Amino acid sequence: MDKILRINTGGENGPVATVSDLGEYAGMGGRGMTSMVVSKEVPADCHPLGPENKLVIAPGLMAGSAASTSGRISIGCKSPLTGGIKEANAGGQAGQVMARLGYAAVIIEGAPKNDDTYKIFINKDGVSVLKDNSLKMKPNYDLVDAMKSEFGDKITVISVGPAGEMKMAASSIAITDMEVRPTRHAGRGGVGAVMGAKGIKAIILDDTGMGMRKAKEPDKFKAANKLFTQGLRGHAVTGEGLPAYGTNVLTNVINEAGAFPTFNFRQGSFDDAARISGETFAELEKQRGGNPTHGCHRGCVIQCSGIFNDKDGNYVTKQPEYETVWAHGADCGISDPDVIARMDFMDDNYGLDTIEMGATIGVAMDAGLISFGDAEGAVRLIEEVGKGTPLGRILGAGAAVTAKAFGIEKAPVVKGQAMPAYDPRAVKGIGVTYATSTMGADHTAGYAVATNIMKVGGDVDPLKPEGQIELSRNLQIATAALDSTGYCLFIAFAILDQPETFNAMVDSINAMYGLNMTADDVNALGRKILSMERDFNKRAGFTSAHDRLPRFFTRESLAPHNVIFDVSDEELDTVFNW
């Protein structure tokens, strides 16, 4: 990965593509690349949908190589949802393919001079910019089918659905999986709206004729990768729980812990949790000819993805993630797996963040627009968003805007972004991450649930404030670095518990690039990235007052533990004191 592709959408005759070397961005990948470009090149006070914002798409440092479970990709910009810096991380094939084509980043910049729609085709021979207004407002699945008909079935597609074209703040960017289906999404922060604002409907990648990236020290790389893979397969979470049940293995776990937000965060457990658990979904998938054990990209040994079919054995969607099942399930009082899977497909097809949409529907239910448990009503609301009706525009703007529009206080958001599937009162470490992350409420920014609930990497009582600041701080630093490598976040379960697996990961990176990084260097990289992100947000107008949870979390106790979020503001302000 030795080059950067820039696509200036402001050309007189449409987007113009130019290729340059890495320059000052050498050595960066994934989140490190996206955050550094955004921090250096995007005016922090610009409008997220204006010409000054840039969309940065960057594979992780290890993507495109034989490194196990290393195909993640980062997409960054100034967020239309939060107004701050954003990195949305995704699986699928794009990270691997883009890296093999040699691109460390694709940067989409400028503003189109007309309302034409463009697709970008990238292969070993170069880059083609093609106007194609027939693609306007196509849902993601139809779009991908059209691209396969035109370019063949060996492609990978990065695209926006109608929500992105309508510049909705809850819109995502879709990335195709191994079956060339748009099931993996850079979901958070409204990144799809930025791509839509640039007039780019799809980026089609074809790495035919390109080999796998080679390590500078192949023997050391092979040995380290083997140990790393053994560590992943030998850990209870990455080797057993996730492959068997996917991320939704957490539904029963979090529900039993009393931290499963139900009815728009009114209580911490859902009576019908077993009906939507990972175990239930996996059994349904097996019965219907689907598959609960499946990789979202080639080279993944965790295999936490899956395929969900309907009662007649027809494909519906990928196995819904835990956060999706929670968002469209417990948070809305819905306990029908088929309806949840249907909504997952609709979100992917329209190009919507499942977390933001589920939380938004929960807020709408709390406001009385429809009743909790109204499954068909929830489906209709997503249809409104996909059509772009006036109501759909409100809902497509996310949970915070919807709460404001319908006049209710209970909007479970930080910096404008909806909280995912863990109540911060019963998992206080994740509450610290929600409050202080540069990204808005984001469980992946510092996944304290691992230690608070699953006792991975130690044991910090989830119901007490003690130890939560240090836990979140350390995880936020480690995650910022990990998000730069291309390794999946889920490897964290193994590397937190197994020092030898962590060392093997570092050894793999060193062998790939001919480096001598230590654990301290990894830590320093994470701090550097967070410092850039914090600086951007400060220039965008964020202060310590934005590093807070909504007040109702400190005022209203959560059943069944009857706890509030009681980590003090003074403590929250020390998270980034290192």
For residue 473, is it within any domain?
yes
The predicted pLDDT at position 319 comes to 93
Residue 519 placed within a domain: yes
Q: Are residues 236 and 271 in the same domain?
A: no
Task: Please check whether residues 378 and 460 belong to one and the same domain.
Answer: no
Q: Which of 516, 431, 539 is nearest to 475 (CA)?
A: 431
Residues 260 and 239 in one domain: no
Give domain status of residue 442, yes or no: yes
Assess whether 350 and 459 both reside in one domain: no
Is residue 415 located within the same domain as residue 430? no
Confidence of residue 299 (pLDDT cuts 50, 70, 90): confident
Q: Give the per-residue pLDDT at 1.
A: 84
Q: Give me the mean pLDDT over the 254-263 stretch.
A: 98
Q: Is residue 313 part of a domain?
A: yes
Q: pLDDT value at position 292?
A: 83
Same domain, residue pair 271 and 417? yes
* Angle in degrees, CA 498, 459, 324, rounded to 5: 85
Give start and end residues of each alpha helix (H) in 52-101.
Answer: 94-100
Task: Read off the pLDDT of each residue in 277-297 and give the average, rounded to a whole number.
Answer: 91
Print the domain residue range for 126.
3-205
Task: Identify the CATH number of the domain in which residue 432 sits.
Answer: 1.10.599.10
pLDDT band at 311 (very low <50, low <70, confident <90, very high): very high
| Residue 288: predicted pLDDT | 96
Quick one: average pLDDT of 497-501? Answer: 94
Cα-based torsion angle of the residue sequence 31, 441, 93, 145 in order, rounded to the nearest 10 degrees: -130
State the average pLDDT over residues 175-200. Answer: 97
pLDDT of residue 296: 85
Summarize the confidence of residues 334-356 as an average pLDDT: 98
**C-alpha angle 411-417-418 in degrees, rounded to nearest 5:** 50
Angle ∠(338,341,343) on CA atoms, nearest 5 = 110
Mean pLDDT to the nearest integer, 115-120: 97
Confidence of residue 294 (pLDDT cuts 50, 70, 90): confident
Is 360 among the domain residues? yes
pLDDT above 90: residue 204: yes
Angle CA 484–429–558, to nearest 5: 135
**Could you read off the pLDDT of 522-577 as tens digits, one per residue?**
999 999 999 999 999 999 999 999 999 999 999 999 999 999 999 999 999 999 99
Token pair for 75? 């997409």
Statement to judge: residues 354 and 463 lie in one domain: no
- Give the model's confidence band at 430: pLDDT under 50 very low, under 70 low, under 90 confident, else very high: very high
Q: Is 229 exposed, middle or buried (0-12, 13-18, 19+ CB in 10 A)?
A: middle
Both 288 and 346 in one domain: the answer is yes
One domain, residues 31 and 177: yes
Q: What is the pLDDT of residue 329?
A: 98
Tell which of 205, 237, 264 closes a domain.
Answer: 205
pLDDT(246) > 90: no
Instruction: Name the token pair of 323.
Output: 């956060």
Residue 233 covered by a domain:
yes
Residue 301 to residue 57: CA distance in whole angstroms = 24
Determine the pLDDT at residue 303: 82
List, for residues 57-100, the tens digit of each pLDDT value.
999 999 999 999 999 999 999 999 999 999 999 999 999 999 99
Query: 392, 529, 384, 398: which is closest to 80 by C-alpha?
Result: 398
Question: Looking at residues 185-211, what average pLDDT do you find?
Answer: 97
One-letter amino acid at 22 equals L
pLDDT of residue 146 exceeding 90, the answer is yes
According to DSSP, residue 323 is labeled H
Residue where a domain terminates, one of 394, 422, 450:
422
Q: Based on the structure, what is the number of domains in the chain?
A: 3
Q: What is the pTM of this model?
A: 0.96
Same domain, 482 and 531: yes
**pLDDT level of residue 291 (50, 70, 90 thresholds):** confident
361 plus 453 within the same structural domain: no
Looking at the predicted structure, is the pLDDT value of residue 464 above 90? yes
Average pLDDT on 348-373 reads 98
Task: Give 489's pLDDT tier (boundaries 50, 70, 90).
Answer: confident
pLDDT at position 578: 87
User: What is the bridge-based pairing of β-strands 200-205 and 156-159?
Assistant: antiparallel
Residue 210 lies in a domain: no
How far is the first Cα of the chain from the last one, in angstroms, to the nearest whole number?
32
Asked, for residue 39, whether it belongs to a domain, the answer is yes
User: CATH number for the domain including 56?
Assistant: 3.60.9.10
How far is the C-alpha of 87 from the C-alpha of 272, rounded, in Å? 34
Phi–psi pair at 291, nearest 5 degrees: -160, 120
Of the residues 376, 407, 422, which one is the last residue of a structural domain? 422
Neighbours of 19 (CB within 10 A): 12
> pLDDT, tens digit, for every residue of 150-181?
999 999 999 999 999 999 999 999 999 999 99
Residues 364, 358: Cα–Cα separation, whole Å: 10
Q: Do both 291 and 358 map to the same domain?
A: yes
Which H, E and C letters describe 459-470, residue by residue? Answer: CCCCCCCCCHHH
pLDDT score of 432 more than 90 = yes
How far is Cα 489 from Cα 322, in angstroms, rounded to an integer?
A: 15
* Extended strands (E) in 244-338: 291-294, 305-309, 315-318
What does the pLDDT read at residue 443? 96
Which pLDDT belongs to residue 36?
98
- 306 and 244 Cβ atoms separated by less than 8 Å: no
Q: What is the DSSP string of 528-559?
A: HHHHHHHHHHHHTT--GGGSS--THHHHS-BT
Mean pLDDT score of the chain? 96
What are the strands, taking DSSP E only, across 259-335?
291-294, 305-309, 315-318
Query: What CATH number should be reported for the domain holding residue 386?
Result: 1.10.569.10
Phi-psi domain of 172 (left: phi exceeds 0; alpha: psi -120 through 50; beta: other): beta
Helix (H, G, I), strand (E, B) or coil at 307: strand
**What's the pLDDT at 546?**
98
